[in-house]
A = this chain, B = another copy of it.
Amino acid sequence: MTERFVFTVNAKDGHARTGRILTQRGDIPTPAFMPVGTRASVKALSPDEIAASGASILLGNTYHLMLRPGESLIAKAGGLAKFMAWHKPTLTDSGGFQVFSLSDRAKISDDGVVFASHIDGSRIELTPERAVRVQGQLGSDIAMILDECPPGDAPRKDVENAMRRTTLWAERQIHVARPEGQALFGIVQGSIHEDLRKRHLDEIAALPFDGIALGGLSVGEPVEDMYRIFHEIAPLMPTERPRYVMGVGTPADLLEAIEQGIDMFDCVMPTRNARNGQVFVMGGKLNIKQARFLNDASPLETGCTCPTCSTYERRYLRHLFMSKELLIHRLLTIHNLHHYGALMAGARQAIKDGQFSAFKKSWLEQREI
């Protein structure tokens, strides 16, 4: 495993745990939520604002970055973090997920994936080895293996084949040279089948990855199945390595996963939904465009200490949204990321205090919004 990448669990409460990942670019208190900075930018936010939300690491999308501006330009600029003036750790995904959701005519084989760029149609080959090398150029602190992620309703046979291929690729990728200090995480597939998840977890955990992720969740399957997989699989994951659930989720999803011992998350929900006017508040959400906020002088969320809630009234924020003013994207994104940051900070403290169940219940409690 990687030197200069150290994970320590400091406290447990049931399966839930809190700890710290040390990387060469800074520490990550866990459980941690990673905002998504798809194209080397968390949309509308400055690095200062991202950090002020409580985020200690952010995620960049290898698929987007390799197409534009290209990994070699980012390498010349000193890596993703330096390029975007974010002076904390970064994690990059492998690009595989976006190849299937965004590119044209993707073809997968045991060799890798061939696809056409959604920008200019050019033909691009992403092999497992290249996925690791590209992330080496991007210089992230945590790289992810290229895996095959079948849709949430894929037949069992397809899920098994994706597992077989992911393990095959994992074994090849562990041997690809990486920059000093860059960690590599394995990914467990198996969809909503407990037996397949267990089998694939055994295969991936047997390899010397620095952390283990659950992939293939929140890809169209019922939420109860996702929660069942958290319950059945998370407690079985190696205890001494960080556990990461990819692409998840709502505050309720995160609390459910943390309760089962998950340490890391990423999701576009707080940032993307902000741009549609959706605001996360304790106990639910609201949409700022609703007419009831027309002359509402209260902040987005009473008691929230984020810069948006400390400065602006709902009636002004609604006006900005209705007028399509650029500033609104930033102000709502700041609040939503702060909400996720506060959720993680609260979870860490609650686990230390042995009060995680009560914390979870109180966060989700219905209240007037």
Contact = CB atoms under 8 A, between A and B. Distances in A.
A290 to B, nearest CB: 14
A85 to B, nearest CB: 5
A233 B281 CA distance: 58
Interface in A295-336: 295, 297, 311-313, 315-316, 319-320, 322-323, 325-327, 329-330
Contact of A73 (B47, B68, B77, B294): B294
B295 A76 contact: yes
Nearest to A77: B315
A67 to B, nearest CB: 10
A83 interface: yes
Interface in A32-91: 39-41, 43-47, 68-69, 73, 76-77, 83-85
B40 A73 contact: no
A323 B68 contact: yes
Nearest to A44: B326
Contact of A43 (B44, B85, B297, B325): B325
Nearest to A45: B327
Interface in A250-309: 294-295, 297
A323 to B, nearest CB: 5
Contacts of A315: 69, 73, 77, 83
A150 to B, nearest CB: 29
B44 A319 contact: no
Contacts of A77: 295, 297, 313, 315-316
A316 B40 contact: yes
Given A85-B312, A316-B85, A330 B326 contact: yes
Contacts of A43: 325-327
B84 A316 contact: yes
A46 B327 contact: yes
A68 to B, nearest CB: 6
Contact of A295 (B73, B85, B325, B330): B73
Contacts of A297: 77
Contacts of A85: 311-312, 316
A38 to B, nearest CB: 9
Contacts of A84: 316
Contacts of A295: 73, 76-77
A134 B20 CA distance: 57
A41 to B, nearest CB: 5
Closest CB pairs A-B (n = 8): A44-B326, A69-B319, A39-B323, A41-B325, A41-B327, A85-B311, A43-B326, A83-B316
17 contacts: A39-B319, A39-B320, A39-B325, A40-B320, A41-B320, A41-B325, A43-B326, A44-B327, A44-B330, A47-B311, A68-B319, A69-B322, A73-B319, A77-B297, A77-B315, A83-B319, A330-B330
Given A40-B319, A43-B326, A83-B319, 10 more contacts: A39-B323, A40-B320, A41-B320, A44-B327, A69-B319, A73-B315, A77-B297, A83-B313, A85-B316, A330-B330
